[in-house]
Amino acid sequence: MPECLNCGGSVTKQYVRVFAPTGMDTVRVCPNCPDMIREGNDVREAK
């Protein structure tokens, strides 16, 4: 199962297919990352 690069949490293949950047096989952040959020094509720290 794919893992989040930020927290190491498990994510589904469907989540990766939707939210992973082109060419990556996992995501940079997931819904379980309280300190980081996706913003467009970038990832930033939560305020």
Give residue 2's pLDDT band: very low, low, confident or very high (50, 70, 90).
very high
Q: Is the pTM of this model over 0.85?
A: no
CA 19 to mean position of chain CA atoms: 7
What pLDDT does residue 11 have? 95
Rounded Cα distance between 41 and 10, Å, is 21
What pLDDT does residue 9 have? 93
Q: What percent of the chain has pLDDT over 90?
A: 38
**Summary mean pLDDT of the chain:** 87
Q: Is the pLDDT of residue 26 over 90?
A: yes
Amino acid at 44: R
